[in-house]
A and B are shown apart, each in its own frame.
Chain A
Amino acid sequence: MGTANSLVRVDPRTVIVDHSLLKPTGWDQRVVPDDLRQYVSRSRLVPGTPVLRLRRGQLFVVSGLPFLAAARDAVPPLSEVVCEVVAKPHELQQANLRVVRVSSLLDDMPPVYRATNMLFFRRALNAQEQKAVEGMIVAFFQEATSPEWNYGGQYRWMENPEWNEAHDMITWTWWKSDTEGHDLLRLCQVLREVDTHIAPIRSCNGFVPLFP
């Protein structure tokens, strides 16, 4: 019986890092570790699927190390992360790993959820710049929810944006569903305008942005 890839819920503290097995992806390399840790702490979401290898009953990380580290170092830490494990089915059973069916994983997700977003800047912003950034985000939300300019994604409502003490990071939350439309393309345009006209962005939800 050959090896297969299965989704498994894993405690990030139990995964072993062997640098000779690591094959970081470009997605891993876009992570700003401290920003991602803050994002995971706040959103409780891990925006990546680490790939692990099962060897002699132990799990070794192949890719997605920054996501495991962010889950482990988050405040409070995440007890489980959904990972892809490369192993033979009987090895998964022997290691007592719980295989997750992706359909049930998706079914269990509430249709509308609290989506936290965090924008990290390379420098502190003054009051005027902060107000401009807030204005652009709120304007996008109003645009996305107006009947004539609906970009999809069922944006429902938005909580007030807040800045950190150093004034170099803004957090905002909106209630929405998963999207398929032009909303993300439009949001990226807004963020590019922020990056170009107000202040350079260090990361968005823990990732270095690649603007189109």
Chain B
Amino acid sequence: MLHRFSIKIGGASGTGINTVGMILSRALKRIGFFTFAYREYPSLIKGGYASYKIEFSDSELNSTSKYADINIAIDKASFTHLAKEAEASTIFIYDSDVIQLREDDMAILKEKNIQVFSLPLSSKAKEVGGDVIMTNSILIGAVWNLLGLSPEIITKAVIDVFNKTKEIEENNKKCTIAGFKFLDTQTKLLERFKPQEFANKRISITGNEAISFGAIASGVRAYFAYPMTPSSSILHVLAKYADKTGMVVKQAEDEITAANLTLGANHAGTRAMTATSGGGFDLMTESVSLSGMTETPFVVVLGQRPGPATGMPTWTAQSDLNIAIYGGHGEFPRIVLAPGDADECFYLTAQAHNLAEKYQTVVIILTDKYIGESIYSTDKFDNNKIKIERGKMLFENFDKEKERYEYTEDGVSERWLPGDRANTFIANSDEHDIHGNSIEDAILTKKIIEKRLRKEKSIMDSIPEPIIYGTDNADISFVGWGSTKHIILDAMDELERQGKKINFLHYSYVYPLKVQTLSKFAAKAKKLILVENNATGQFGNLLARYTNVKFHERFLKYEGRHFFVEEIIEKAIENEKGSKAKNS
């Protein structure tokens, strides 16, 4: 049994399950639980089957599991899905006003020894004088009571969210309290946890929100983007706070425009940014190449989803690493970051802008639907940790005879802005000389290509090695990148509770590739397992290009879903059994 408790709510898109989930998560956090939430939804606006899964524990957790202690179905479609998924001896709640069960429906649940609660949610809401749309508040109250938790906290959480008018607040509060009377407390449910009532400073935040706030904090003053799932929420968040921050937030007319607006704005000296998904990034690759050639800073978030082509817009994958690293014709340096959680989303976004300006090139922040939309609970981000580094940007009193693209030792030339009283220059997509004039000369061509590529060594020297987690003498060693970070770390926690020895090497800076730590890690590893959310092992292939590291196994998942904690645990145990068999 995992040291966590999870609740999964299923219903049609547009019927408020996200709000239910969010209120429960917030209230649980305020009691002192560490929480994590994940949403799944189909590519439509209303209807279909969507779900919200809340995981919580008294120790740190940042991943989803397959298992749900409580499944809640608020319509027939979700009932059908959840009844199938539900595991033995769990709890099942359903809205009996909306769902008429047949004998075989109940049979599925009875077979698995599932405790079923049928709640006539809308009748209850009407009875209390509330609206049918307040059935969710009844549900919240009922679930909260089932868990045996204090009513004040949940009522406050409900009011905090439904705070449109005094009347709406009051009605929802009434419904929550009425919901309380529905289900008797199952006192044993949470007895194995000891929540710590720490001060309410922890935030519940998605990866995309963290990226947005990292952008604001690090001085991004213009954001241009074309909506594309799963990155659209960055545009929405920045637009929501634009009047507070003064940032120019512009929905561009297509991805190519977004990329070029970003380049133009950066060229003229502000910090601008864009975000998209795989298909949109394909359109931007020409602009990536332009950034490399003109040495214009360019930060772009690539939120991955399954491809190719339109793929599955609302699902997750790690299958665009290749285009992040290789997209954009010609040879020029670039940096690819892959944050592993909300914290890294915040701090690495700030760092991305510093790197883009220091090395005057493109920095791609690789995320995915899983990290972009999962709701992590973490400490408030520390503004004091944000530093603005603009590299070799000259501001005043500099030599007016200087040329923009001088051949420097580290490959980075000094930079100034159009409008500055200095030597003019041309940021030229043609091959060019130190002034930026177009050239076709053999010697000058070679010279400037080498200058640009010299930046790679400078970049390599400045980025950090990947981080090792876990014990030294591990029996199983995982290697992963980006959003699989906490799925593996949480699995390690469970495995360590069982006395297993596991370690894990995680990459947040995936390109250029640092290999020193990996080589030492792999040399000591008894069983090296690669974990990736794609079909062809793109990161493994990148490692194979630069190292001789051999994996015992490549654990790949490509169903449009992220890894579940249980899958990593099973994989470790399976491989451990294998070794035991070998050694006996």
State whether these chains interact.
no
- Chain B residues near A (Cβ < 8 Å): none
